[in-house]
Structure 1
Amino acid sequence: MDTKHSTIFHEDFLLRSEIAKALYHNYAKDLPIIDYHNHLPPENIAKNHQFENCSQVWLAGDHYKWRAMRTLGIDEKYITGNASDREKFQKWGEAVPYTLRNPLYHWSHLELKRYYGIDELLTGENANTIYDETMRQLQQKSHSTRGLLEMQNVEVVCTTEDPLDDLRHHKNLRSQDVSLVMSTAFRPDKAFAVEDAPSFLQYLEQLEQVSAVSISNFDDLLEALDKRIDYFHENGCRLSDHGLELLPYFKTGAFDIIVIFNKIKNHKVLSQDEINYFKCETLKHLCKEYHKRGWVQQFHLGALRSVNSRMLQLRGRDSGWDSIGDFPQARSLGQFLNYLDSTDQLTKTILYNLNPADNELIATMIGNFNDGSIRGKIQFGAGWWFLDQKDGMEKQMNALSNMGLLSCFVGMLTDSRSFMSFPRHEYFRRILCNLIGNDVTNGELPADEKWLGKIISDISYYNAKNYFNGFKY
């Protein structure tokens, strides 16, 4: 393909000093990827799915791109509507030049370059030609789902599944002779989403079926969840994940859980405190079960979801109508973690915040529970969602550096539904190397490439490999 080379996406992109370049190229660039949290469809991995075109693999399901296109006034039919895949790609090509200073601009061009060798800046003028070239390559075996992962040297992917999932695709992949490890994270959010009683009661019916437990009270619910945890554990799961506005805490007995459960079954309205108490009691039990099995637990805190009710009704959840929330985090988070730690039942924990105002809060909170038993036992998770861009990553790492130990950090994850999102690890590694390189240039760290290189390698790969020691390599 005849390409016009861009001027910024060269081998030293984002690396502003010689030491930063050396750290990236010698210690980070070629390391494998452990992507310990994402939302990839496991069926596509197990069946080694071949996408027909770049719109299917790149635009479908990507609400980052959708929000940008809507902001530019692009009609919804070209985003989630009934326009053809070629037409959708054309509109995205027209949008890309106007995403400058948004991470989409960097991500998009890195992805075109790393997966297809295309070093052009995508525009409306060349979108049709690039669509044809990417479609041609996507027909090749090298560009199947597992081929795309192999291109980025992905060693482990950890998808995210509801307790109802039968994990058939994870089992399928394990039965094949492949080196890629696909694990899962247990995501039980729907098991305590009592704010929507009708949906919750429907969920209980489904949970009854897969667990073979008749759920007539709260203890039955916990028993059913325990059975699903056992099932997930037997199938290689070693992580849990929870998406919450905040992590609620109440002393047990503050409300009567029997009364709350009966109110739910009788479709009576719960108060906000009753809702949060139910979540808290369920999570207390779950977290003790995770500890018993040596799992890692993850808490994603602070998203304000489904803000636009009109568009939610038209397009559904997870289609781009969420934002950063300003929920009070510190007191209840500290109390909840302390509750578990007081009986030494606090397992390895990763805390992610969505509001950057909480960076220092989380960075100091983890230090309260790093008790010397495990290196980096409690982690401040990488910049998440709206914060997984250059400024957000730098602020997260600076807060962690100032108030904790960056050297113990388990690094980056994609949190993505896209098989083309893995250059985000490269993006993170370049930003990390540049951050350390700036300190050397400023005379704040010694120019000891070997020592700094070890720290870079640890954050990029080895810390995660050691932390998630339950994965089968």
Structure 2
Amino acid sequence: MGFLTEDYLLESDAAETLYASIESLPIVDPHTHADLPEIVDDDGWDDIWEVEGATDHYVWSMMRKRGVPERKITGDADNREKWTALAEVFPELAGNPTYEWIHLDLKRRFGIEQPISAETADEIWEETKAQLDDRSMRPQALLSEMDVEVLCTTDDPTDDLEYHETAAESVDVDVRPTWRIDRALHPGRDSWLQFVADLEGATGVDTSSLSGFLDALERTHDRFAEHGCRASDLSLAELVTRPVGRRRASDVYRRALDGRNLSEREVRDFQAFLVEEVGRLNAETDWVTQFHIGAVRDYRDELYETVGSDVGGDVSAQSIDLAENLEYFLNEFDGEMEIVLYTVDPTHYPTLTTISRAFPNVSLGPAWWFNDSPYGMAEQLEHMGTVDLLANHAGMVSDSRKLMSYGSRFEMFRRSLANALGGMVERGQLPMAHAEDLAEHLAYDRPKSLYGFE
């Protein structure tokens, strides 16, 4: 088997047949970190580092591991220096999905076949730079070429959604916002206090009391609904749900605004109260509730202090009692709305898969972050298919900050899916006709139906 040839990741004739049946389906992407101004303005990029490295903490992490100085990653080196530094260590990234994604980008979008290395760095730089001048390499043209049908951004509740309004008129893709409430969930932090102020500014509602805060949040929820939003999202290292009264939440809110030190119990009580309020709002509007669980942010202190947040210093948390923590919320909203659970730690799959099996309205999201690889996808699909139902998997999301990689990430998933189902066909576990139906269902129909993009 050659490098990234037509049988890439496909280990049987059945897998090749299945992939051929789904490779050209449109992309429905319910969770991205797309830069919507970049798409709407449609100015394009100047060079390959801007395309592949400038916003990608996956790339940054790998470069640090191979000893590249920070100056040539997020520092003041020019883009050509940064690309050259990446190319010099790129052969050493083999085995990590980043290695395959970027090579797939070069092959599928630029027609460049040669592997990235110190020897090919200059040639690839010049060739991609020349191609990036063409209008066919602008963001909107690329979205069309990759056949992206639906794209959901990730947005703070205080966002005015101005670019979404423009996109609805000027972009030939169904672009929808997602209500991401992470900043609301950490009472007492400086970022939380800023969020409270921003929320008041965005809505004109006095947020000096819990009642005002909740009213303002609901107004943003309504505004997002008017702009076609179909889901909320939140990410916590440990999501704890339990019944918390309004009086208790109001007391914690007041203490947080006053700058008091909050106990862990107070913070968790406020989070539990607010998550239930989010559930109530989502149930009323029939939104999907997405929970991203287990990511410990900014774990490496030195990196956070010198470079900042979301730069590749995050890790996964294992010691979480998922069954106990989720029990209250899942029973409170049993059958009331669709819920999608993501975990960054694959040892959580057994618990989350049995939870998904127990609740028809709960689905397991795709292999996320550190698991977003052929190995991670295969592991998750195999486990879920034997414990729950593959038909109830939520489908793929790119979770990407790089527009260029949407196609590559979905290709990797579809090939992994075809290989998993093809193996079942080869082992006599299901007939090809049912495998074809299931492949199309998970590659396209399931996320479109689950999120209500019909």
Band of TM-score, shorter chain: over 0.9
Q: Deviations over 1:245-276 (max 9, x none)?
A: 12212222398223212211221111111101
Alignment partner, residue 189 of structure 1: 182
What letter matches 1:455 in structure 2? L
Aligned match for 2:207, one of 192, 201, 215: 215
Aligned match for 1:179, one of 172, 175, 184: 172
Alignment partner, residue 365 of structure 1: 355
* Cα distance in 2 between the residues matched to 1:250 and 1:463: 31
What letter matches 2:348 in structure 1? D
Q: CA deviation at 1:195?
A: 4.8
Q: Is contact 1:247-1:336 (8 Å) kept? A: no
* Cα distance in 1 between the residues matched to 2:255 and 2:151: 40
How do 1:223-302 residues align onto structure 2 when only pairs under 5 Å count? 223-253=215-245, 256-302=248-294
5+ unaligned residues in a row in structure 1: which ranges? 1-5, 371-376
What letter matches 1:268 in structure 2? R
What letter matches 2:149 in structure 1? E
Q: CA deviation at 1:398?
A: 1.5
Alignment partner, residue 135 of structure 1: 129
* Cα distance in 2 between the residues matched to 1:334 and 1:405: 21
Secondary structure of the residue that 2:278 maps to in structure 1? helix
Alignment partner, residue 316 of structure 2: 324
Q: Is contact 2:246-2:273 (8 Å) kept? A: no
Secondary structure of the residue that 1:383 maps to in structure 2? coil
Does residue 62 of structure 1 match 2:63?
Answer: no
Aligned match for 1:339, one of 309, 332, 345: 332
What letter matches 1:398 in structure 2? E
Deviates more, 1:6-15 or 1:239-248: 6-15
Q: Is contact 1:284-1:340 (8 Å) kept? A: no
Does residue 310 of structure 1 match 2:302?
Answer: yes
Deviates more, 1:407-416 or 1:119-128: 407-416
Question: Percent identity, aligned pairs only?
Answer: 33
Secondary structure of the residue that 1:248 maps to in structure 2? coil
Runs of 4+ in 1 over 4 A off after TM superposition: none
Does residue 348 of structure 1 match 2:338?
Answer: yes
Q: CA deviation at 1:307?
A: 0.7
Aligned match for 1:415, one of 399, 422, 437: 399
* Cα distance in 2 between the residues matched to 1:412 and 1:249: 27
Secondary structure of the residue that 1:300 maps to in structure 2? strand
* Cα distance in 2 between the residues matched to 1:387 and 1:70: 20
How do 1:376-387 residues align onto structure 2 when only pairs under 5 Å count? 377-387=361-371
Q: How many equivalent pairs are there?
A: 452
How do 1:145-160 residues align onto structure 2 when only pairs under 5 Å count? 145-160=139-154
Q: Is contact 2:352-2:364 (8 Å) kept? A: yes
Q: Deviations over 1:401-421 (max 9, x none)?
A: 111110232311110100121
Q: CA deviation at 1:203?
A: 1.6
Aligned match for 1:439, one of 416, 421, 424: 424
Does residue 453 of structure 1 match 2:436?
Answer: yes
Q: Is contact 1:193-1:279 (8 Å) kept? A: yes
Alignment partner, residue 21 of structure 1: 16
Q: CA deviation at 1:130?
A: 0.2
Q: Deviations over 1:288-336 (max 9, x none)?
A: 1011011111100000110112210111110010011123222111222
* Cα distance in 2 between the residues matched to 1:253 and 1:98: 54
* Cα distance in 1 between the residues matched to 2:269 and 2:139: 42
* Cα distance in 1 between the residues matched to 2:357 and 2:10: 31
Q: Give me the CA root mean square deviation.
A: 1.5
Secondary structure of the residue that 1:379 maps to in structure 2? strand
5+ unaligned residues in a row in structure 2: which ranges? none
Q: Is contact 2:28-2:150 (8 Å) kept? A: yes
TM-score for both structures, normalised by structure 2: 0.97
Alignment partner, residue 7 of structure 2: 12
Q: Is contact 1:407-1:459 (8 Å) kept? A: yes
* Cα distance in 2 between the residues matched to 1:96 and 1:434: 27
Q: CA deviation at 1:103?
A: 1.1
Does residue 392 of structure 1 match 2:385?
Answer: no
Alignment partner, residue 119 of structure 1: 113
Q: Is contact 1:306-1:322 (8 Å) kept? A: yes
* Cα distance in 1 between the residues matched to 2:346 and 2:43: 37
Alignment partner, residue 373 of structure 1: none
Q: Is contact 1:187-1:241 (8 Å) kept? A: yes
Deviates more, 1:156-165 or 1:103-112: 103-112
TM-score for both structures, normalised by structure 1: 0.93
Secondary structure of the residue that 1:37 maps to in structure 2? coil
* Cα distance in 2 between the residues matched to 1:461 and 1:109: 24
* Cα distance in 1 between the residues matched to 2:141 and 2:448: 22
* Cα distance in 1 between the residues matched to 2:80 and 2:395: 36
* Cα distance in 1 between the residues matched to 2:347 and 2:46: 42
